[in-house]
Amino acid sequence: MKKLLIFVLTLTVVASCVAALIINASAEDNTYLDLRPVEDGDAEYSVTGADVEFKGNGTVVVTLTSTTATVSMIYKTSGTVNQEANVDVSVAKYVKYFFALSAETMTLDIHAHYDRGNKDNADLYLSGMRTSPDYFELGDATSKYGAWDIYDYLSSREGYLPSDNIIKFSDIVYTINGAVGDVFTLYNFEVAEDFDEDFGTVIPPDDDPLEISEDESSEEEVSEETSEATSEATSEATSEEESEEEPVEESSQETSSGTTPTGDSGFVALAIISVIALAGAVVIKKK
């Protein structure tokens, strides 16, 4: 009977840890949502009237090949979910945007559909946010950047805020008007928890990977191999001379090289320790 009780307790501990991991991961997934176009994601991407370049840092550069261009992302339809685009607005309170237009004659509007408490496929327009300037925490109705408090907007209207605070986006369309050759650059369009005070004034760095030719790559590999061989020889010689003089420093270096456990690792470690401890109890009981 005691063995059965121990077995049940073990399963309970493990199940609790797994559930905590799942809940934690699920919560983290809904605390940020990037709504910029991507061409290689799960959502359905399409473009008309423009050439589009995707930077390594997520920036999108749209060059008009017609006087009107549209860039669309479809996350779900009535019968198909291409990609979940859900966000908890009680945590991620702000719709953040930052863009540039190469000509003053250009115009831009952004139109998204999302499910909220009282309505599916509700409209969210950039122009609509600009006509509700009281919700801007950064920027204003005329700036090309802003942090607009969507949580405040929803919670101040009866029935708009879902019971779980999670809104679900169906699609988003960027419509750009201008002359052929005009450029629209989208740095950010996201739903996020906070924002920097200099957001909208500092252009994100371009972190596109550098292209290295085969010759440069080969030379670099040879250089690295030579450097590693020299380093190993020097390290061995130094180690023999100093091994008796600096045991404490060497020990501290070995200790500090370990990785700090993350929150998830802590859960897993707890489960393992619990199982080992309870298994040990069974063994002791047998003796």
Structural domain boundaries in the chain: 1-30, 32-192
- Tens-place pLDDT, residues 74-124: 999 988 999 999 999 999 999 999 999 999 999 999 999 999 999 999 999
Cβ count near 52 (within 10 Å): 16
Report how far apart the first and last C-alpha atoms of the chain are (Å, whole number). 16
Element (H, E) at 138: strand 136-139
Q: What is the pTM of this model?
A: 0.67
99 within 8 A of 182, measured Cβ to Cβ:
no
pLDDT at 10: 53
Q: Which residues of the chain have pLDDT under 50?
A: 8-9, 11, 13-15, 17-27, 209-223, 226, 230, 233-234, 237-273, 275-287
Q: How far apart are CA 136 and CA 138, in angstroms?
A: 5
pLDDT at 245: 37
pLDDT at 222: 46
Cβ count near 242 (within 10 Å): 12
Q: Does domain 32-192 have CATH number 2.60.120?
A: yes
Burial 67-77 (b: 16+ CB within 10 A, else e): eebbbbbbbbe
Q: How far apart are CA 39 and CA 36, in angstroms?
A: 10
- Tens-place pLDDT, residues 176-201: 999 999 999 999 999 999 999 999 99
Vertex 26, ends 170 and 114: CA angle to 5°?
A: 15
Q: How far apart are CA 163 and CA 159, in angstroms?
A: 9
